[in-house]
């Protein structure tokens, strides 16, 4: 797919991986609609991106709002969803609040909402990209909720691909990535990423731009659907 002149909707598009995808799509000549539930993120980001990006305040769990957004910008060619849907539960499973575990699936519900409501407004050559995470296939202690949701996202992509063809759907699975989702600052932030990645083959955190590169690859490569691309510095290897 040549993205120049294409219309793209990026949900979760004002921070981290989503923002990096917005910037790369816009740089490639796409018309981009960046959705975010955070008004402050929209206000901060709007001043830093190119003129061919439009911002909308939207919660991926708001089905009516999503329907209105998709109808407003139909037809569109690209749908990227990087939104988490809210907080994600972490910690030992046997001590975890089950409401927190269940709440982690807001990410999946946001993805299913966007694909279910958005696909019919896409061109038949359209491409969808969702974001999983390496714990889906290598779960460390305390990551059971995140791992389970990631497995569900990747399974969803494989299950839905035959149904929406010729439109395509794929997933990117990042490793630990340096984004604003991690709120610690300064030396504490550096120490966290160092300790968390010191045993991976590429001993550093990933960059949002590196994950966005994979998102753009999946958009452009018209011979891929139902697939998951790993961008994790070798974290899945022993």
Domain boundaries, the chain: 7-230
Q: Which residues is 53 bridged to in the sheet?
A: 32
The model carries a pTM of: 0.95
Model pLDDT, residue 144: 97
CATH superfamily of 7-230: NAD(P)-binding Rossmann-like Domain (3.40.50.720)
Model pLDDT, residue 69: 98
The token pair at 233 is 């510095």
Backbone angles phi, psi at 225, to 5 degrees: -155, 150
Model pLDDT, residue 181: 81
Whole-number Å distance between alpha carbons of 186 and 173? 27
Low pLDDT (below 70) residues in the chain? none
Model pLDDT, residue 121: 98
Closest by CA position to 52, among listed 76, 34, 75, 74: 34
Model pLDDT, residue 226: 98
């Amino acid at each position: 797919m040549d993205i120049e002149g294409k219309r793209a909707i990026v949900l979760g598009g004002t921070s981290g991986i989503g923002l990096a995808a917005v910037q790369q799509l816009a740089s490639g000549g796409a018309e981009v609609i960046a959705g975010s539930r955070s008004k402050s993120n929209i206000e901060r980001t709007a001043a830093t991106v190119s003129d061919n990006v439009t911002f909308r305040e939207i919660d991926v769990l708001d089905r009516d709002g999503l329907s209105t957004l998709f109808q407003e910008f139909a037809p569109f060619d690209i749908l990227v969803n990087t939104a988490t849907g809210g907080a994600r539960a972490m910690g030992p499973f046997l001590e975890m609040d089950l409401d927190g575990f269940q709440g982690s699936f807001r990410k999946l519900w946001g993805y299913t909402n966007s694909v279910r409501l958005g696909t019919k407004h896409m061109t038949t050559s359209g491409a969808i990209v969702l974001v999983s995470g390496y714990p889906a296939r290598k779960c460390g202690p305390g990551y059971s909720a995140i791992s389970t949701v990631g497995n569900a996202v990747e399974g969803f992509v494989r299950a839905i691909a035959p149904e929406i063809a010729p439109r395509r759907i794929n997933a990117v699975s990042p490793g630990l990535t340096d984004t604003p989702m991690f709120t610690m600052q300064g030396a504490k932030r550096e120490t966290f990423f160092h300790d968390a990645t010191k045993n991976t083959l590429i001993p550093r955190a990933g960059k949002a731009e590196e994950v966005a590169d994979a998102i753009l690859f999946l958009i452009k490569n018209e011979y891929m659907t139902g697939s998951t691309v790993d961008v994790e510095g070798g974290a899945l290897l022993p």
